[in-house]
Chain A
Amino acid sequence: MTMRWFYYAAPQTFYGLAGRLWPWLAALALALTLAGLWVGFALAPADAQQGEGYRIIFVHVPASWMSMVIYLAMAFWAVLGLTFNTRLSGMMTRALAPTGAIFAFLSLWTGALWGKPMWGAWWVWDARLTSELVLFFLYLGYIALTSAIDDVRRADRAGALIAIVGAINVPIIYFSVKWWNTLHQGASVSLTRSPSMAQLMLWGMLLMALAMWVYTLAIVCYRVRTLIIERERHTDWVKALPEVAGVKA
Chain B
Amino acid sequence: MSAFFALVARDLRLAFRRKAEVLSGLFFFVVVAALFPLAIGPEAATLRHIGPGVLWVGALLASMLTLPRLFENDWRDGSLEHLVLSPHPLGLLVLGKIFAHWLVSGLPLVALAPLLGLQFDLPSDALGMLALSLLLGTPVLSCIGAIGAALTLGVRGGGVLVALLVLPLFVPVLVFGAGAVEALNSGLGAQAHVSILLAMLLPAVFFSPWACSAALRIALE
Q: Is B98 an interface residue (CB 8 A)?
A: no
Partner of A183, one of B147, B183, B214: B183
Instruction: Tell yes or no: A228 within 8 A of B by CB.
Output: no
Bound-complex Cα distance A197 to B22 (A):
59
Contact A145 B152 (CB under 8 A): yes
Cβ–Cβ contact B147 & A154, under 8 A = no
Known contacts A145-B151, A148-B152, A158-B151: A166-B169 contact under CB 8 Å = yes
The reply to whether the CB of B167 lies closer than 8 angstroms to some CB of chain A is: yes
The answer to the question of B11 belonging to the interface, with a C-beta cut-off of 8 Å to chain A, is: no
In the complex, A176→B200 CA distance in Å? Answer: 11
Please name all residues of chain B whose beta carbon is closer than 8 Å to the beta carbon of A137 when the two chains form the complex: 164, 167-168
Instruction: Name 23 interchain pairs, CB-CB below 8 A, sorted by A.
Output: A134-B171, A137-B164, A140-B164, A144-B161, A144-B165, A145-B151, A145-B164, A148-B152, A148-B156, A154-B219, A157-B218, A161-B215, A162-B165, A165-B211, A169-B168, A172-B200, A176-B176, A177-B175, A179-B175, A180-B179, A183-B179, A183-B182, A183-B183
Please count how many residues in chain A sit with their CB below 8 Å of the partner chain's CB atoms: 26
Chain B window 39-67, contacts with chain A (Cβ cutoff 8 Å), 1 for yes, 0 for no: 00000000000000000000000000000
A residues near B165, Cβ cutoff 8 Å: 141, 144-145, 162
CB of A138 within 8 A of chain B? yes
Determine whether A149 belongs to the interface, using a CB cutoff of 8 Å to chain B: yes
B87 on interface, CB distance cutoff 8 Å: no
Q: Check if A173 is an interface residue, CB within 8 A of chain B.
A: yes
A-contact 0/1 string along B171-190, CB 8 Å cutoff: 11001100100110000100
Contact A177 B152 (CB under 8 A): no
Residue contact A161 to B164, C-beta cutoff 8 Å? no
* CB-based contact A148/B168 at 8 Å: no
Residue from A148, A161, A179 within 8 A of B218 (CB atoms): A161
- Whether B182 lies near A158 (C-beta < 8 A) is no
**A-B contact sample (12 more), CB < 8 A, given A169-B172, A179-B175, A180-B175:** A137-B167, A145-B161, A145-B165, A148-B156, A154-B221, A165-B169, A166-B168, A169-B168, A173-B168, A176-B171, A179-B176, A180-B179
- Find the B residue at minimum CB distance from A142: B165
B172 touches A173 (CB 8 A): yes
Using Cβ atoms and an 8 Å threshold, which residues of chain A touch B179?
179-180, 183
A133 to B, closest residue via Cβ: B168
Q: Mark A150-190, 1 if CB is under 8 A from B, else 0.
A: 00001001100110011001001101110110010000000
**B157 at interface, CB cutoff 8 A:** yes
Nearest CB of B to A183, in Å: 6
Instruction: With both chains docked as a complex, state the minimum distance between the C-beta of B205 and any C-beta of chain A, in angstroms.
Output: 15
Q: What 0/1 pattern do residues 106 to 142 of A give for CB contact below 8 A with B?
A: 0000000000000000000000000000100110110
Residues of A within 8 A of B172 (CB): 169, 172-173, 175-176
CA distance A175 to B172 in the complex (A): 8
The answer to whether A134 touches B168 (Cβ under 8 A) is: yes
B169 touches A158 (CB 8 A): no
Q: Is B155 an interface residue (CB 8 A)?
A: yes
CB neighbours (8 Å) of B168 from chain A are 134, 137-138, 141, 166, 169, 173
CB contacts (< 8 Å) of A166 on chain B: these are 168-169
A175 contacts across to B, CB distance below 8 A: 172
A173: chain B residues at CB < 8 Å are 168-169, 171-172
CB-nearest residue of chain B to A173:
B171
Q: How far is the CA of A44 from the CA of B152 in the complex (A)?
A: 50
Closest to A130 in B: B171
A175-B167 Cα distance, complex, nearest whole Å: 17
Known A-B contacts A169-B172, A176-B172, A180-B179; the reply to A158 vs B156 at CB < 8 A is no
How many Å lie between the Cα of A173 and that of B148 in the bound state?
17
